Amino acid sequence: MASRSWGRDAVLTWDQFSRIAFDGGVITVSVFVMAAVLGTVLSLLFGIMGLSESRLFRGISRIYVEVARGASAIVLVFFAAFAAPRFIGFRTSDVSVTLFGIDVGWVFIAGAVALGINMGGYGAEVVRGGIKSIPRGQTEASISLSLTNGQRLRYVILPQAVMTMLPPYGNLNIEVMKGTALVSLIGVADMTFFARDLFNRRNFLENGPSLVVIWGTALVLYFIVSQAIAAFYRWQERRFGGRWFGGRL
């Protein structure tokens, strides 16, 4: 009764679907949010550091950016999940991590942190580019008004830079979200994990769903989330760009 990958039932049962979309979806979104928050903090930190007058700070920023980008996301994820605990000195079984009542384990943290670090490498360049794009005159006016460097960054430069940074930053967010699929490989129960699980089990099911249906569903779910993020950033761009530029963008 071995069956081929084609044919079979055209639809997923509600249980099957909700497992992938909701049980998995919650984890996918949680990993994404954690990674995005960490990534944003690191982007700002190392992005601003990369513009420092101190060669030391610029150097540190450069090293971080090159390593965080150069080691691919998947390499970082595997390293964080399996090698890092040993470097730091704890056993992964000693650590218990629960999220919304689900026991997700160290791999969840490892995956999110690794993705966040990876994102920071790319984000730092976005931040640096955005700040650099602000005309010198703004800095000079700030000096003329006796603002400190910190005040200048906070009240004059960053608010303007955000506008330039939003499009590439939105794209980066989408890449990170797609990257969350990687954590399924280290054992985190996200959408990809459940889809794969269902696919592996389908041979043992009566009227199991076909390959196309399972993966098609997964792909569509990721597609929807991508588009949602893209729409969010388009909305933010409209909000920010409105009145400053006299109503036109």
Partner 1 sequence: MTFTLAQEVWRWEVVWEFLPEIAWGMAFTVLATVIGITVAMVLGLVLALLRRSQIKAIRWPTISIIEFIRSTPLLVQLLFLFPLVLPGSRVPTAAFVTLVVGLALHYGAYTSESYRAGIESVDRGQWEASIALNLAPATKWTRVILPQAIPTVIPALGNYLVAMVKDAPLGIAIGAFGILTVASGLGSQTFRFTEAYGVMGLLFLAVSLPLALFARYLEKRYGFERT
Partner 2 sequence: MDSNVPSDALRVEAHADTMVRMRKINKIFGENHVLRDLDLDVAPAEKVVIIGPSGSGKTTILRVIMTLERPNSGSVEIDGRHLYHEPKGGGLVDAREAHVREVRTDISMVFQHFNLFPHMTALDNITLAPVKVLGLTSEEANDRGTELLRMVGLADKSGHYPAELSGGQKQRVAIARSLAMRPKVMLFDEVTSALDPELVGEVLAVLKDIASQGTTTMMLVTHEMGFAREAADRVLMFDRGQVLEEGTPEQLLREPEHERTRSFLKAVLQH
Binding site for partner 1 (CB under 8 A): 4-5, 66-67, 69-75, 78-79, 82-83, 86-87, 89-90, 94, 174, 178-182, 184-185, 192, 195-196, 199, 211, 215-216, 218-219, 222-223, 226-227
Round to whole Å and give the CA distance between 221 and 190: 12
For partner 2, which stretch binds (CB under 8 A), given 10-18, 115-123, 204-212, 240-248? 240-248
Q: Is residue 102 helix, strand or coil?
A: strand
We find the least distance from the C-beta atom of residue 31 to partner 2, in angstroms, to be 34
Q: Of the candidates 197, 121, 134, which has an alpha carbon nearest to the alpha carbon of residue 161? A: 134
Length of the chain: 249
Quick note: the x/- pattern for partner 2 over 131-160, rule CB under 8 A, is ----x-xx-xx-xxxxxx--x---xx--xx
Q: Which is nearer to partner 2, 146 or 207 (CB)?
A: 146
CA–CA separation, 138 and 196 (whole Å): 53
The two tokens of residue 151 are 């005040």
- Which CB, 4 or 243, lies closer to partner 2? 243
User: What, of partner 2, partner 1, none, does residue 17 touch, CB below 5 to 8 Å by kind?
Assistant: none
Give kind and range of the element (H or E) at residue 99: strand 98-99
Alpha-carbon gap, residue 147 to 156, rounded angstroms: 10
Q: And the tokens for 68? A: 């965080």
Residues lying near partner 2 in the complex (CB under 8 A): 135, 137-138, 140-141, 143-148, 151, 155-156, 159-160, 243-246
